[in-house]
Amino acid sequence: MTSVLFTSGATVTFRELIEVITSYDFIVETIIGNGITRMIVQYGNEIETGTQKHVSEEFYRQCVEDKELKQSLQLEVVSGSQNDSNVVTYRSNKYRGFEMVVFPFSNDIGSFISESDVVISHAGTGSIIDTLRLEKPLIVVTNDKLMNKHQEEVADELVKLGCCRKMTIEDMKSSQLKDCISEILSGPETFNKLPECSTTEVEGIIYHELVK
Query: How many Cα atoms are found within 13 Å in the side-chain-facing hemisphere of 193?
Result: 5
Total domains in the fold of the chain? 1
End-to-end CA distance of the chain: 42
**Reported pTM:** 0.90
The more confidently predicted of residues 54 and 196 is 54
- Distance between CA atoms of 180 and 165, rounded to whole angstroms? 9
Report the CATH number at residue 37.
3.40.50.2000
Domain that holds residue 178: 3-211
The pLDDT value given to residue 211: 47
Residues 114-153 pLDDT 10s: 999 999 999 988 898 899 889 999 999 998 777 667 778 8
Mean pLDDT in the chain? 89
Residues 6-64 pLDDT 10s: 999 888 899 999 999 999 999 999 999 999 999 999 999 999 988 989 999 999 999 99
Choose among 29, 6, 18, 48: nearest CA to 174. 29
Residues 6+ apart with CB under 8 A from 147: none
